[in-house]
Structure 1
Amino acid sequence: MPASRAAPITAPACGRHCRLRAPRLASPHEKANSPMHRPDRRAFVIRLSALAALSGAGVALSACGGSDDNDDTPAPKYAYGVASGDPLADRVILWTHAQPPGSDADVPLVWEVARDAAFTQRVASGKTVASAAAGHTAKADATGLAPGQSYFYRFRHDVADESAVRLSPVGRTRTLPAAGATDLALAVLSCSNYPAGHFHVMGEVARSDAQFALHLGDFIYEYGAGGYASADAPAMGRVVQPTTECLTLADYRTRYAQYRSDPDIKVLAAALPLIAVWDDHEIANDAWTAGAENHDPATEGAFTTRRDAAMKAWHEWMPVRTPDATDLRKIYRSFDFGGLAALHMLETRVIAREKQISLADLANPATAQAAAAALSSPTRQLLGTEQLAWLQRQMAGSSATWQVLGQQVLMARMTAPVSVLSALNAANTTPEAQAAGMKAITDYLTARQVAAQNPAALTEAQRALLDTRRNPKLGYNLDAWDGYPAEREKVLASAAQLGKRLIVLAGDTHNAWSSQLTLMDGTVVGQEFATSSVSSPGMEEYLSALPPAQTQQIFMGVVDDLRYAETASRGFLMMRFTPAEARGQWHFVSTVKSASYTSTRSAPLAANLTQRTPQAA
């Protein structure tokens, strides 16, 4: 059921040292009917320690940190707000960051959960510590809650003085539903790159009727100032900190702190419980088990040292339950939404992923045979045997209507003929290169059209283009599941053999897609819905010479399993589940480069229990 709405409530006053209050926000109805979404929420982020506002859930929140007249112990700042995550039917993780000004001392905290924002109906409480060893972050697993309920939560400095100056901002969270759930709304996000643009998308999620938020990776990016997608950062005031590339634990902590200082992240974090996994940029670009494209051991040290620092920071700064404290790589875990959907969150980066195979190696006659053999190897791993066995057990033991995989990279076959891939080079945008690429695409699509209408009229050259032995199809991105076909087949075959209705959610590409999921023999076993990015640029930057509509047409014409594509807009995916259908709808913002923007939505795309192929709803 959609999250219930409460009348606007103001959190307790901050005491005489705080005078700033959060102004009234437009209601969801007013926001939806305004011609332009303006950045008003940025003006009321409370200085020093406050979360400014929660618009969509109808709550205005504020708190202060600083000195206090009644206690010699300095009050902590809650500079990055509060967050919740990894909800279960009876519990949820609560998160904050608390640190006294100019002090590295540990901060003892009390956490409180209540049915109302004034905390007159408290239902649970406990103690935790924002320790220096954890970068002054603090978590609590708030247990003893009721299923399918919304709650308010906050933290309080655990000292004798209980004045409002010791309080954190107030957040709102929700537990998973009890058995018999009939409606579920998940907001799916990916690729939030601070220097690339504003996080308007996160503000939109907070104002939506989503019950839970999923972040499928690249919550931060590791590059230094002037790195990937940073050209407009100085003008927007979004130059990354530290300005160097993230290598150490201190670097990653500083980067997470900067991201969590963003107003839209604060609003979303306090509005909805988050379920998250990492992708490569939480560590380094195109990471795999033993290295990454963006890591040079000769100048940056051992990859495992960097990886371990990055994972520690992620577990500190994200509101996640750590499944195995002895091995921080193991972030795969399941969530049951009242028997309606079972969500299995996967790790596809550093547990077992073998090194990516490059298209260049497949195209080079000197390396093609070895690269092709490695690509098609039946033992090639992405999840690894332990995680795959876990996933198979989870699906086999679940009676949920929908089995949903929340993971990082595209699972569907995004394959194109070599004749097209070899002619498209995003690094070469000369008129000659563009013309060659368009000719390769036109020739292939023309051959397909002739084959469909009058096969006898095919020329020998066209027959060669359609012959997969002479013109094989390869994934355009071998960092995705197309680079690990044997293990993809095992995952999809498991779902098919168990008779499960499978939905796969993906991020990573910065574009919106939906595809049917097929076995090697062409059998359709499920659907994939992939979200666009929060701010990272998509195909509109890499194929800038092509109009977006033409890019979409090319992908739809060349990729057999693709059913929907939007390659020019930033946004999020809203997934809605009922016993009868799973339905995806993409929400887009007009720009992330300026403070003002408009929003639009795609037509919904549904897959129901009797029709496996996505159809326009």
Structure 2
Amino acid sequence: MTSAAMAVFPCGVASGEPGPHGIVLWTCLGPGAVDGGTDVPVGYEIAADPGFRDVRVRGETATHAGRDWTVRVVVDDPALEPFSTYYYRFTAAGATSRPGRFRTLPDPDARPERVRIAFLSCQDYTNGYYTALAHLAREDVDYVLHLGDYIYETTADPSFQSGQVRALRLPGRRIRAQTLADYRYLYRAYKRDPYLQRLHEAFACWHCWDDHEFANDSYGVYDTDTRDERLNYSPARRLAASQAWHEYLPTRLEFTPERGPLDALRVYRSVRIGDLVELVITDERLYRDGPPCGLGTFDRYLTPGCPARLDKRRTILGPVQREWFVETVTRSTRVWKIWANQVMCMQLKLSTDSVRGLFPWLPHLDLYVNLDQWDGFPAERERVLRAIERAGVTDFVVLTGDIHSFGAGYLRADFDDPASPALGVGLIGGSVTSANFVEMLTFGFGGVLVPPEAELTPALVRSNPHLKYFNSAAHGYVVLDITRTGITATMKAVDTIRARAARLLTLREFWVPRGAARLVRTGEGVPEFGTDDPDLSPSAR
């Protein structure tokens, strides 16, 4: 792409929310395309070939300052055929963007033999380079699922951003985004990354949010920036965060600010990929209750818990979304019911023996690692999983990000009862760059990738019998190869995020057979690709 085109389209292009005959296209314009405060026309084309000789859809839209010069085009056209690959590009101010590529969905009644989906999460720009995304852009997958923390609202939080690699400075000169201008700045800064652009050019993506698109460990319209909940009440900030998310990601969802911050944007939804997959995407931020044991650090992390944690009225989904979720999963006739779930659903605690082994000065007690996840809502977790058990749901898989670790294990209605049957399989993807446990314990610098995985991770596996694998020393993504007989989940990691080039290796590979909640390890950790070339053109795939 020429320098003039880069000035017009500084954030590249993206696509999302594919349908059998449709797609959402996205880009944004730079100062080189904006002349005053008037609307700027933007053209777009979708073709069946990368040379744009067979153009199937052509149109024009416009953008303006009220949308921060972002462009979102929702296309539904019978000229686009199901389960087919297409190419698209934009034109504005005499320039043409780099092309992007997407694949439409199969028809809802189709019987696809195979679908490949990669999932990822947690891409703190300041903590490292997106080397994992450079490799993911080369993968042979159909779609990408982003589980949230696309941006981080903080730019220099000493509690978890001590290993700064790439500095950012918010317009308001604070370390936390507070205004619409702050959040917009972060999306533009992240989207200028060439590896992130390469990923978006390669695949259509579904997006959901987690906490950092607004504020760390947020709930409803509250952040957790202080220990005083009254000071954390931030409805205007929540609304600004939602608006920026909607402006900068390719989604079919509608943003209606006059409904208020809790109802302006509904992100929970389901996607049917032929008869093979029901992808159920939930929102575990807007409708949840606050931390059960207090707002202090050790009220939420490495805590023995408190009686309020067990309150049966506590909710992470909210009653309306919970009813929708249970109904969607239990009534689905698709082969695989896959839950795009932001925070870890499986119990994660450290047993007394493990705690004493790691921290000899602590008393004898079990500690929950993080009450921001489903361990802070055990009654609702059991209620949901019991409903799935009663309905006889099979082939249920839960995908999770958030915890900056790779993992695999079993879903149980009662994690403290060894006889409680496995109701499904949980797969956890490591972060793209966000600090994992090893980096937090070593002040941002990490250690050897594997082995060892640090003393903490084996202790977690010993403390949680349902957990079959856990690695909090690596960064990467997970590729799901979904067929009618089973799912192969391949966990992939890069050997560094502190340099612009990295090698890729396979950490673990698991087979989930159809008809059984079972994890079978099928591969050894092996190197895959050589050092990535940081100068490789994003269009040269």
User: Taking structure 2 as the reference length, what is the TM-score of the superposition?
Assistant: 0.85
Matched, 1:83 2:18: no
How many Å apart are 1:555 and its aligned residue?
1.4
Aligned to 1:490: 383
CA–CA distance in 1 between the matches of 2:191 and 2:43?
22
Query: Are residues 142 and 614 of structure 1, via their aligned partners in 2, closer, same or farther at CA, if it must alter by over 3 Å?
Result: same
Spell out the pairing of 1:444-593 with structure 2 (5 A cutoff).
Answer: 475-500=368-393, 501-520=395-414, 522-544=420-442, 547-593=452-498
Aligned to 1:69: none
**Secondary structure, in 3 states, of the residue corresponding to 1:548?**
coil
Higher normalized strand content (fraction of residues): 2
Which of residues 604, 610, 616 is equivalent to 2:509?
604
Contact 1:182 1:578 in 2 (8 A): yes
CA deviations 1:464-496 (Å, max 9, x no partner) are: x8xxxxx6x553211001111121122222322
Matched, 1:171 2:100: yes
How many Å apart are 1:129 and its aligned residue?
1.9
Contact 1:240 1:258 in 2 (8 A): no
**Secondary structure, in 3 states, of the residue corresponding to 1:552?**
helix
Q: Which amino acid aligns with 2:292?
A: I
Which of residues 203, 218, 221 is equivalent to 2:134?
203
Aligned to 2:529: none
Larger CA deviation: 303-312 vs 591-600: 591-600
CA–CA distance in 2 between the matches of 1:267 and 1:48?
19
Which of residues 340, 346, 357 is equivalent to 2:292?
357
Query: Are residues 376 and 135 of structure 1, via their aligned partners in 2, closer, same or farther at CA, if it must alter by over 3 Å?
Result: same
**Secondary structure, in 3 states, of the residue corresponding to 1:527?**
strand
CA–CA distance in 2 between the matches of 1:285 and 1:380?
20
Larger CA deviation: 272-281 vs 285-294: 285-294
Contact 1:511 1:566 in 2 (8 A): yes
Aligned to 1:136: 69
Spell out the pairing of 1:262-277 with structure 2 (5 A cutoff).
Answer: 262-277=193-208
How many Å apart are 1:299 and its aligned residue?
11
Contact 1:583 1:604 in 2 (8 A): yes
Aligned to 2:59: 126
Matched, 1:345 2:242: no
Aligned to 2:320: 386
Q: Which amino acid aligns with 1:355?
A: G
Q: Which amino acid aligns with 1:189?
A: L
Contact 2:209 2:283 in 1 (8 A): yes
How many Å apart are 1:119 and its aligned residue?
1.8
Aligned residues: 494
Matched, 1:401 2:335: yes
CA–CA distance in 1 between the matches of 2:64 and 2:232?
28
Contact 1:114 1:120 in 2 (8 A): yes
How many Å apart are 1:434 and its aligned residue?
4.3
How many Å apart are 1:138 and its aligned residue?
1.0
* Larger-Rg structure: 1
CA–CA distance in 1 between the matches of 2:398 and 2:63?
36
How many Å apart are 1:357 and its aligned residue?
2.3
CA–CA distance in 1 between the matches of 2:157 and 2:342?
25
How many Å apart are 1:360 and its aligned residue?
9.2
Q: Which amino acid aligns with 2:202?
A: A
CA–CA distance in 2 between the matches of 1:478 and 1:499?
29
How many Å apart are 1:579 and its aligned residue?
1.1
CA–CA distance in 2 between the matches of 1:382 and 1:146?
39
Query: Are residues 323 and 488 of structure 1, via their aligned partners in 2, closer, same or farther at CA, if it must alter by over 3 Å?
Result: farther
Query: Are residues 278 and 527 of structure 1, via their aligned partners in 2, closer, same or farther at CA, if it must alter by over 3 Å?
Result: same
**Secondary structure, in 3 states, of the residue corresponding to 2:291?**
coil
Unaligned runs of 5+ residues in structure 2 are: 523-541
CA–CA distance in 1 between the matches of 2:170 and 2:255?
30
How many Å apart are 1:419 and its aligned residue?
6.5
Aligned to 1:328: 264
Q: Which amino acid aligns with 1:555?
A: L
CA–CA distance in 2 between the matches of 1:232 and 1:91?
42
Contact 1:171 1:271 in 2 (8 A): yes
CA–CA distance in 2 between the matches of 1:414 and 1:535?
22
How many Å apart are 1:146 and its aligned residue?
1.4
Aligned to 1:148: 83
Larger CA deviation: 376-385 vs 287-296: 287-296
How many Å apart are 1:108 and its aligned residue?
1.7
CA–CA distance in 2 between the matches of 1:111 and 1:363?
51
Unaligned runs of 5+ residues in structure 1 are: 1-20, 22-45, 51-64, 66-76, 160-164, 425-432, 441-464, 466-470
**Secondary structure, in 3 states, of the residue corresponding to 2:38?**
coil
Larger CA deviation: 307-316 vs 606-615: 606-615
Which of residues 27, 40, 46 is equivalent to 1:113?
46
CA deviations 1:513-555 (Å, max 9, x no partner) are: 1110001251210011010000012111234499525333211
Matched, 1:252 2:183: yes
CA–CA distance in 2 between the matches of 1:114 and 1:248?
39
How many Å apart are 1:377 and its aligned residue?
1.6
CA deviations 1:83-129 (Å, max 9, x no partner) are: 00111222111001024536343212222211012222111233322
How many Å apart are 1:376 and its aligned residue?
1.3
Contact 1:82 1:269 in 2 (8 A): yes
Contact 1:297 1:303 in 2 (8 A): no
Query: Are residues 49 and 241 of structure 1, via their aligned partners in 2, closer, same or farther at CA, if it must alter by over 3 Å?
Result: farther
Q: Which amino acid aligns with 1:169?
A: R
**Secondary structure, in 3 states, of the residue corresponding to 1:246?**
coil
How many Å apart are 1:499 and its aligned residue?
2.4
CA–CA distance in 1 between the matches of 2:231 and 2:154?
13
Larger CA deviation: 141-150 vs 551-560: 551-560
Query: Are residues 358 and 47 of structure 1, via their aligned partners in 2, closer, same or farther at CA, if it must alter by over 3 Å?
Result: farther
Query: Are residues 549 and 247 of structure 1, via their aligned partners in 2, closer, same or farther at CA, if it must alter by over 3 Å?
Result: closer
Larger CA deviation: 397-406 vs 545-554: 545-554
Contact 1:195 1:240 in 2 (8 A): no
Q: Which amino acid aligns with 1:511?
A: S
Q: Which amino acid aligns with 1:319?
A: P
Contact 1:583 1:606 in 2 (8 A): yes
How many Å apart are 1:344 and its aligned residue?
0.6
Q: Percent identical across equivalent pairs?
A: 28
CA–CA distance in 1 between the matches of 2:385 and 2:54?
47
How many Å apart are 1:210 and its aligned residue?
1.6
Q: Which amino acid aligns with 1:146?
A: E
How many Å apart are 1:231 and its aligned residue?
4.1
**Secondary structure, in 3 states, of the residue corresponding to 1:208?**
coil
CA–CA distance in 2 between the matches of 1:129 and 1:576?
39
Larger CA deviation: 543-552 vs 328-337: 543-552
**Secondary structure, in 3 states, of the residue corresponding to 1:565?**
strand
**Secondary structure, in 3 states, of the residue corresponding to 2:339?**
strand
